[in-house]
Amino acid sequence: MSDDREPTSVADLKDKPAGDLAGFFRYARYDIVSGLLVFLIALPLCLGIALACGYPAIAGIFTAIIGSILTTFISNSELTIKGPAAGLIVIAVGCVEAFGGKGFMGEVTPTDVDAYRMALAVGVVAAVLQIVFGLFRAGVLGEFFPLAAVHGMLAAIGVIIMVKQIPIALGVKGAGGEPLEMIKEIPHYFEEMNPDIALIGVVGVLIMFLWPWVQKLHGALKAVPAAMVVLLVTLPMGMYFDLLHTHTYSFHGRSYELGESYLVNMPDRMFGMFDYITTPDFRAFDGDHLMTALPWVFMFFVIGSLESLLSAKAIDIIDPWKRKTNLDRDMVAVGAGNLACAFVGGLPMISEIVRSKANIDNGARTRFADLWHGVFLLLCVALIPTVLHRIPLAALAAMLIYTGFRLTHPREFLHVYEIGKEQLLIFVSTLVGVLATDLLIGIGIGIGVKLLIHVINGVPVWALFKSYLDVELRDDNTTVIRARYSAVFSNWILFRRNIIRLGLVERRNLILDFTKCKLVDHSVMEKLHELERDFEDAGLHMEMTGLEGHKPLSHHGFAARKRAMSRLRRVTVVADSALQAELTAKFAEFGASGYTAVPCYGAGRSTLAHGNDSSNSQTRIEAVVPYEIADSIMDYLQAVSREHRLTACLETVEVLQHESF
């Protein structure tokens, strides 16, 4: 069989060592094409994200180049693209501002440079933490955070990106402040906009939003990313407005200034990129700055690691060959990449979801597609930096506005609402919390709201962080795990560890019994669904039981399940004791799983009317049954009542364990 054959199974591409030369040559034609197309997407985004972070524009290129080349040979994640991501903008720019910098938009002061270098030092320490945690198998960190809180955090990041880029897209200088303050100032930004720059920004935004619709007109257009179209249109606009030279113009009787400050600052000669290499300033951890630096180290580490792990897991799900990333190894790779980036002046990196998805759509086969995308970036910034210098900042801002909008798209709210109203509450609480405070406090608010909801739903406080499991090993190579009290995000890591060990590691089929669980939350339901695929891929079977007695909090397949009182019908009949045997036999025939029969006596209306309270010996029979069985019994009793005197009544009752009836 020739080397050009299409891979037909997981084994064709799975378990290849990093840097396998056979795979490099065998799939080169696929990986080079995908790398080129991903490069076209990555180039403008790397520049825009870097500037939005308060770093020099070239810092984003450094990160993408190092991330693509270094991590290719460390991580076993075949299709993820490593590089700067919009989700880290808020942390990076917050860190720069915390050290007194204002970023690299416009005039740059020594204070801005010092703040940038101290932010690099923070990146070094955060990268070391990522490496250490990866070596100690801490990739499971991504399993802890509740999904609604994570999505709420990302939506808040999207809002912050948009409000911070709007004034740049409009050509308004000096805009800044807290997100909620900037939202209030949006009408003012439109009043103060620079018309020529705003035209570039508005055109860029329109292209970003409309290009996906244009692509539907012809299949060939799908290969052209919207960001590249923005550059092809706005770069000539910048040349037409002569942004390379400082000058003024009048519009509606008002004077405006144009110049190089509205363009990306890039090297002015070939290979000039090496002049921009910047080293970290570890004064960030001296006595004066230590307490400023530590929270940002934690945020870089936690949020960056979480985003990267979630992206890698998401790409594994859509990998056509269903390969699995070693998340611990991937974290080591990301940490090593971040360490190298921080020492030369680059941004923090993660496994980036949008570019990774484009990598799959463009036909990539192996991790070398990531390598090729970095090679193309290196060649571009080394050989044609003067062309990149002509890119208007407003065009990059337009791309980031679209990126921010996608993070906080109205569909996100609808999707979360479909999963459950309580999930929407967590989502919105996190979003508002981040906007009003910061990322750490905001996601802490979201987690706190979710824990409170769990307690309200009956989960004991002491069962929030500990999983209570009973394990039974059966002779048929099956393990039964019975969960008690709760299966929620905060005790999921321990629960998951047992599922992996007793199932996948020991190669046994698994039955998870949730009969005695008060609550199984949405995060756990979704993660269990992922594990079902893992068991299936391993040739094993995982089954969930005991959820029949739980009430879903919405119609969504992954909605939280709360053990609730189920509604059934109680049939009660009083008749002559001679009918007891016939009646109880019929109850069982119709499907009643049990009944209660007791002797009784009493008097009816006609007996009381004659002044005689004596009565014949009677029996009282009671059965709790599902609705359809109750209807059958009542139809039967109606027929019997034509020949025998009896009374019957039907009630709706709530029971604790539906499966007992």
Tens-place pLDDT, residues 366-393: 999 999 999 999 999 998 898 999 999 9
Residue 613 reports pLDDT greater than 80: no
- Which residues face 646 on adjacent strands? 575
pLDDT of residue 349: 95
Burial class (CB in 10 A: 0-12, 13-18, 19+), 535: middle
- At residue 300, the 3 state secondary structure works out as helix
Q: How far apart are CA 586 and CA 590, in angstroms?
A: 6
- 603 pLDDT band, cuts 50/70/90, is confident
pLDDT of residue 136: 85
Q: How many CA atoms within 13 Å lie on the side-chain side of 490?
A: 23
Residue 461 has phi, psi (to 5 degrees) of: -60, -40
Residue 279 reports pLDDT greater than 80: yes
pLDDT of residue 278: 96
Residue range(s) of every CATH 3.30.750.24 domain in the chain: 461-563
pLDDT of residue 306: 87
Residue 254 makes CB contacts below 8 A (sequence gap 6+) with none
Length of the chain: 661
Mean pLDDT, residues 180-209: 95
Homologous superfamily assigned to 461-563: STAS domain (3.30.750.24)
Tokens read off for 9 = 């199974």
Q: How far apart are CA 382 and CA 69, in angstroms?
A: 16
Tokens read off for 526 = 């979704």
Residue 257 has phi, psi (to 5 degrees) of: -110, 140
CA 295 to chain CA centroid, Å, is: 23
Contact 421, 453 (CB under 8 A): no
Percent of the chain having pLDDT more than 70? 94
Q: How far apart are CA 270 and CA 619, in angstroms?
A: 101
Tokens read off for 389 = 């210098």
Q: CATH number of the domain at 566-660, please? A: 3.30.70.120
Mean pLDDT, residues 564-574: 85
Q: How many CA atoms within 13 Å lie on the side-chain side of 331?
A: 28
Tens-place pLDDT, residues 66-104: 999 999 999 989 899 999 989 899 999 999 999 999 999
Contact 77, 325 (CB under 8 A): yes
Residue range(s) of every CATH 3.30.70.120 domain in the chain: 566-660
Residue 438 reports pLDDT greater than 70: yes
Mean pLDDT, residues 334-351: 96
Of 53, 42, 43, nearest to 168 by C-alpha is 53
Q: How far apart are CA 365 and CA 479, in angstroms?
A: 37
pLDDT of residue 657: 65
Mean pLDDT, residues 393-403: 95
Q: How many CA atoms within 13 Å lie on the side-chain side of 299?
A: 24
Tens-place pLDDT, residues 499-511: 999 999 999 999 9
- 614 pLDDT band, cuts 50/70/90, is low
Termini Cα distance of the chain = 61
Tokens read off for 178 = 């807290």
Q: How far apart are CA 298 and CA 440, in angstroms?
A: 9
Of 524, 301, 299, 313, nearest to 434 by C-alpha is 299
Percent of the chain having pLDDT more than 90? 70
- 440 pLDDT band, cuts 50/70/90, is confident
Residue 318 reports pLDDT greater than 80: yes
Contact 208, 226 (CB under 8 A): yes
Mean pLDDT, residues 237-253: 94
Strand blocks (E) in 187-346: 247-251, 254-258
Please report where in the chains the tokens 């006595």 appear, as a residue.
287
H helices present in 437-573, as ranges: 439-456, 492-499, 522-537
Tokens read off for 289 = 């700055």
Mean pLDDT, residues 125-147: 84
Residue 230 makes CB contacts below 8 A (sequence gap 6+) with 44, 204, 207, 208, 395, 398, 399
